[in-house]
């Protein structure tokens, strides 16, 4: 069998950065290169009913025993547009000794800045070279799923039910579930392999909304601007000061929600501001949306309706759809314990495809893929964490007899 590490290194060699400005599916053509590779690999493994549609790949491993549920495993192919995912040059640190890891351009991966590094002393770690992200989010998940399926295929004497796997495009820009065919997938329940460090088991996530604010100004020569110029950027600067300073991502944790200023682009003539709103409670998200609406309405009185506002919901807390199906969580927890992994049950301070899929009718909590520091040049993943994630998948499939 090919190692999960070899699979991972092959997958990250494909640039798959998603593009939020594109309206196609997938949003970037190069995601199709990886999806084509995965289709070929599924064929070589002898999986059944392999499909590829607009970048979505689905395949199925036949059952070897009766009285098992049909379980799904899902990972996404795209990487975040926050940092380049082109020409990734991974660095494998053997038997990490707890010291600073030197990257390029004077960058360092230091346990002082990233204390979780201390958890992996003595292990082999894959890092970036300091110029790109690594792509463990979520190509580690893909590698773990493919490795688990390969193991079960080559050990067909092991009893398990039918296994459904899927790889999606554009998760990083919130579109991963847009065209996911729940009916064709047909799983009784599923797991996304898209979590962080080893042990994470997540079935609660933010309720989420996105805000776009456009401020229309009036530009005239500054020497003759009295009572005539309307400076859109100054209005925007006023607006952002009205948001609660202690409810930002850097000031919140655990179950605390936030307002996150994502971008501020302005001139005198026009200013565009984007926020994301996050809250674990539905009523909390509605309160935040109402705050934005009232803030803009009040400023429009002062600035003669210069501000346009758009608020759209993104996803909801999957807990509402999973809380009555605790057996799905129990199964994953037992599967982790069997391979020596301590489950870390915690809320996701973000969202996954699983949140949207749960509301589409497929209960889908999230399991660790093993990486750290996603979306940036300090991303890293311990090899042992990927191997344990693969083992968790295998255990889930083989321990599920009689579960429905």
163 preceded by cis ω (within 30°)?
Answer: no
Find all residues with CB under 8 Å of 101, minimum gap 6, and list them: 91, 93, 108, 109, 110, 117, 125, 127, 380
Q: Are 99 and 389 in contact (CB under 8 A)?
A: no
Q: What is the distance between the alpha carbons of residues 274 and 178, in angstroms, rounded to a whole number?
A: 22
Question: How far is 277 from 287, CA to CA, in rounded Å?
Answer: 10
Phi, psi of 251 (to 5 degrees): -115, 5
Burial of 289 (0-12, 13-18, 19+ CB in 10 A): middle
Q: Is 353 a catalytic residue?
A: no
Catalytic residue among 171, 247, 353, 387: 171
Contact call for residues 284 and 257 (beta carbons, < 8 A): yes
Q: Which of 15, 41, 78, 204 is catalytic?
A: 78
- 66 in catalytic set: no
Torsions phi, psi for 266 (to 5 deg): -145, 150
Structure tokens, 216: 């229309």
Which residue numbers are catalytic?
78, 171
């Amino acid at each position: 069998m090919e190692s999960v590490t070899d699979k991972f290194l092959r997958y990250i060699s494909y640039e798959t950065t998603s593009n939020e400005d594109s309206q196609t599916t997938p949003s970037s053509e190069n995601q199709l290169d990886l999806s084509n590779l995965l289709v070929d690999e599924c064929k070589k493994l002898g999986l059944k009913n392999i499909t590829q549609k607009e970048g979505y790949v689905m395949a199925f491993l036949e059952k070897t025993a009766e009285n098992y549920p049909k379980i799904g495993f899902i990972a996404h192919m795209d990487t975040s547009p926050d940092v380049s995912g082109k020409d990734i040059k991974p660095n494998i640190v053997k038997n990490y000794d707890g010291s600073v890891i030197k990257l390029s351009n004077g960058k360092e991966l230091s346990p002082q800045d990233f204390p979780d590094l201390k958890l992996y002393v003595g292990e082999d770690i894959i890092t970036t070279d300091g110029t790109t992200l690594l792509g463990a989010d979520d190509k580690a998940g893909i590698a773990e799923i493919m490795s688990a399926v390969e193991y079960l295929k080559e050990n067909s004497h092991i009893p398990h039910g039918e296994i459904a796997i899927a790889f999606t495009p554009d998760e990083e820009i919130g579109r991963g579930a847009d065209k996911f065919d729940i009916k064709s997938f047909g799983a009784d329940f599923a797991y996304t392999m898209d979590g962080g460090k080893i042990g994470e088991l997540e079935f609660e996530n933010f309720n989420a909304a996105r805000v776009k604010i456009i401020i229309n100004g009036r530009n005239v020569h500054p020497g003759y601007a009295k009572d005539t110029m309307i400076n859109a950027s100054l209005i925007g600067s006023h607006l952002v000061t009205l948001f609660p300073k202690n409810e930002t991502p850097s000031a919140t944790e655990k179950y605390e929600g936030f307002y996150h200023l994502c971008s501020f682009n302005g001139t005198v003539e026009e200013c565009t501001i984007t926020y994301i709103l996050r809250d674990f409670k539905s009523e909390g998200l509605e309160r935040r949306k109402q705050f934005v609406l009232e803030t803009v309405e009040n400023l429009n009185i002062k600035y003669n309706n210069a501000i346009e506002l758009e608020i759209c919901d993104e996803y909801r807390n999957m807990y509402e759809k999973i809380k009555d199906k605790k057996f799905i969580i129990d199964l994953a927890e037992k599967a982790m314990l069997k391979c020596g992994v301590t489950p870390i049950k915690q809320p996701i301070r973000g969202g996954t495809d699983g949140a949207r899929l749960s509301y589409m009718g497929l209960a889908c909590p999230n399991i660790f893929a093993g990486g750290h520091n996603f979306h940036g040049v300090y991303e890293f993943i311990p090899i042992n964490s990927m191997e344990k994630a693969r083992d968790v998948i295998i255990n889930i499939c083989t321990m599920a007899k009689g579960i429905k």
